[in-house]
Amino acid sequence: MNLVIVTTCPSGVANTVIAAGLLEQAVDAKGWTAQIECQSSVQSTKVLSAAEIEHADRVLLVGDPKETARFNGKPVYQASLDEVMVDAQAVLTEVSNQAQPYEASVSSESGDKQPVRIVGITACPTGVAHTFMAAEAIEEAAKAKGYQVKIETRGSVGAKNNLTDQDIEQADLVFIAADIEVDLSRFAGKRLYKTSTGSALKKAAQSLDDALANAHVHQAGQTNTANSTANQAERSGVYKHLMTGVSHMLPLVVAGGLAIALSFVFGIEAFKEEGTLAAALMEIGGGSAFALMVPVLAGFIAFSIADRPGLAPGLIGGMLAASTGAGFLGGILAGFIAGYSAKFVADKVSLPASMEALKPILVIPLLASLFTGLVMIYVVGGPVSVAMESLTTFLQSMNSTNAVILGVLLGA
C-alpha cells in the first residue's frame, strides 16, 4: 500500500518529528511505502506534491494539519498524536480499514460560503509613504470583493495594527507586500503570497486575485520565498537585501545626526569640554548612534538573506568592519558574507532530528560568525579600509580645489 502522511503538533518542535519517525518505522515493517510531510518549526518541511497525493492509496493525518483541502476525494484517516505514540502499527491498520473519502469543510451544505479572510503585512525601505498607502489600497480592494482583511503596517514608527495569533490562525491567506525582508516564521503552515508595495498599491485588486490563485504553503525555515512576478523581480536579490539593511539603519542616522546637530548649538567645539550637555549630546549621537550604523546595516542585510540565524553573524561582521576602518563598504560586504554563509550552513549542514533545534541558535550563528569574522579580519578589512581612506582623502581634496566637480558628485 502507498500512503501519504502528514504529522503536526502545536509547537512544531518534538512530537511531530517523533510521530513521523514512528510511522516511518511502522510503514517499513509492513512493507508499505509512504511519503511523509512533517510540519515542523525546527527543520525544513518536504511538502507533498500533487502527484504524490494523486498516486496515494490512503492518506493519514496526524494531529491538526492545515491545508487539508488538497486531500479532497482521497480516502483519509485522522489520528491523534497520542494514538501514534502508543501504537503506530495499530494506527496503520486503522488507516487500511477505516479511511473514508474526505471533504474539507470550506462551506456549509446550504452553499453559504464564509468570506475569505486575509491578513497581511506591508513594509517599504523608509517606512513612511508606500507602507501605509499599500495597506489602504489592499484593504479597499479586499472589502470591495467582500473579503475580511487586516493589514499590519511596518512603518518607521514601528508595527501598527498588529496581527494576533488568532488573526493568523483564522486567516485563509497571508498577503505580504514588502520591499524589505520581514520575519515570516509566525505564518508557517499558512498559504502565503509575496509581492512589492508598488504592485499592491497600483494593482491591488489584481494582486489579491493573483494571491488567491498562486499562494503557496509557507514552511518554517524558508527564506526569500517570494512568488515570481515581474514587479517582485525589481525588488529582489541584492537590491532587496541592501534596502533591508538601509531601512533599519536610517533611524540611527537620523537620531544620531540630530543629536550631533543639537550639540553644535552650543558651539562647534563645545562638545570637547567634558561634562557639558554638548559633550553628552555628541556621545549620544556620534559615540553611540553612529557607532551602531554599520553593524545594524550589516546585520539586517544578513537577516534579509538568511532570516534570524543570519542576524548575529551580520552584526559581528559589521562591528569588525567598523573597528578595522572598512566603514560602510566593509559593512555591506560583511552583511552579504554573513548572510550567504549562514544560508549555506542552513541548507547544507544536516543534523540528527534530536539536535535540529540547536541549528538556528547555535550551529548557524557560530559557524557563520567565525567564517565572516575571519574573512573580515584577514581578507576584506585591510583592502577596503585602504579604499575608504583613499575615497575620503579624494573627497576632502576636492573640497577646496575642485568644488564644482564635488558639487556635481553630490548632486548625482
Per-position DSSP letters for 215-250, written without gaps between them: -EEPPTT--------HHHHHT-HHHHHHHHHHHHHH
- Of 9, 151, 188, 345, the active-site residue reads 9
Phi, psi of 50, rounded to the nearest 5 degrees? -60, -35
Cell numbers for 370: 567565525
Q: Is 9 a catalytic residue?
A: yes
Q: With contact defined as beta carbons under 8 Å apart, do 148 and 117 qualify?
A: yes
Q: With contact defined as beta carbons under 8 Å apart, do 91 and 24 qualify?
A: no
What burial letters (b/e) apply to 260-284, b meaning 16+ CB within 10 Å?
A: beebeebeeebbeeeeeebbebbeb
- Of 5, 19, 59, 124, the active-site residue reads 124
Output the CA–CA distances (angstroms, integers) from residue 380 to 24, 246, 291, 299, 367, in the order listed.
Answer: 48, 21, 20, 17, 18
The region, left, alpha or beta by phi > 0 then psi within -120 to 50, assigned to residue 146 is left
DSSP 8-class letter at 281: H
CA pair distance 352, 366, nearest whole angstrom: 18
Q: Is 38 a catalytic residue?
A: no
Catalytic positions are: 9, 124
